[in-house]
Amino acid sequence: MTNQDDVKEFLSSRRAKITPDQAGLPAYGGNRRVKGLRREEVAMLAGMSVDYYNRLERGNLRGVSDAVLGSVARALHLDEAETSHLFDLARAASASPTKRRRSSPLGVRPSVQRMLDAMTEAPAWVRNARHDFLAANRLGFALYSEIFTDPVRPANNARFVFLNERSKAFFPDWERAADDIVAMLRSEAGVNPYDRDLSDLIGELSTRSETFRTRWAAHNVRFHRTGVKRLHHPQVGDLELSYEAMELSSDPGLTFLAYTAEPNTPSADGLRLLASWAATLDAVEAPTTDPAIPHNN
């Protein structure tokens, strides 16, 4: 899809989610032909002419000021992630069409790997914008061992969720996991529209997974900074882990994730069991572009 198509569908989908009552407007009876707000209502709430808002919703954000974008975000009740996405789409609309297409990083610096290895009690790993599994500590590889059942390298969390049936056992909240993955990829596509590898992954998933296509068409976006993740590991059972996701400021496009369990809980016991299981396996050192999991002899 073009940037213009993305803008058009994003704005129209957000407008459809806001009712007149939520916007503080009279509903004018029950005979409305549109779902959500009308364009003229959004224009009024944003303090602009209907013609100008129509131009925006037709997908033309080139040269639009931050003040106008902010007014539209407030009128549509966009959350932080949605507002950021709108600004990203506007930046992409104004970018040079000859801007070079970028590729996602496929490795980590040695100091990042040393930091991972120094964390011995918490699973930790690094991914790029397209959710390739680039590096991890021993517990991180052990925790996500199921992802490596797919022989394609680099292992990819999005491909695992949508193309591998084992993901539905691994993620007890599979629907939520699928929603999160798509929303994060949609956000990344707004930030890095010239990332060739990201575009290729989205194309592959759209072609091979109707479930992905349906979610992608919803244009939902979401930040993934902190929260709780529920996993069912085939070796240690159910785990409920808190996670923190941090962008590596010196490595644009890379995210560092670490998981911990509440003390004195079954999940804390599960992490200790996971560490014992990982200790019985051989650690295989592999290139950062093709990480390998510990495996049985």
- Give the highest mean pLDDT range of 26-30, 75-79, 98-102: 75-79
Asked if residue 185 has pLDDT above 60, the reply is yes
- Residue whose entry in the numeric block shows the structure tokens 């539209």: 72
Report how far residue 176's alpha carbon sits from residue 122's, in angstroms, rounded to the nearest whole number: 23
pLDDT value of residue 296: 38
**Residue burial 56-72, b: 16+ Cβ < 10 Å; e: rest:** bbebebeebeeebbebb
Asked if residue 289 has pLDDT above 90, the reply is no
Report how far residue 27's alpha carbon sits from residue 25's, in angstroms, rounded to the nearest whole number: 6
Asked if residue 181 has pLDDT above 50, the reply is yes
Asked if residue 126 has pLDDT above 50, the reply is yes
pLDDT value of residue 288: 41
Report how far residue 91's alpha carbon sits from residue 64's, in angstroms, rounded to the nearest whole number: 9
Tell me which CATH homologous superfamily contains domain 3-94. lambda repressor-like DNA-binding domains (1.10.260.40)
* Predicted confidence (pLDDT) per residue in 219-240, tens digit: 999 998 999 999 999 999 999 9
Do residues 93 and 61 touch, judged by C-beta distance below 8 A?
A: yes
Q: Given pLDDT bands bounded at 50, 70 and 90, which one contains residue 192? A: confident
pLDDT value of residue 195: 87
Sequence spans of domains, the chain: 3-94, 110-279
Tell if the pTM clears 0.85, that is, is over it. Answer: yes
Asked if residue 265 has pLDDT above 60, the reply is yes
Scanning the chain, the segments in alpha helix (DSSP H) are 3-17, 39-46, 50-57, 66-75, 80-94, 110-118, 138-143, 157-163, 167-170, 174-191, 196-208, 210-217, 266-279
* Predicted confidence (pLDDT) per residue in 266-282, tens digit: 999 999 999 999 988 75
Asked if residue 143 has pLDDT above 80, the reply is yes
Of 3.40.50.300, 3.30.450.180, 3.90.180.10, 3.20.20.70, which CATH number belongs to 110-279? 3.30.450.180
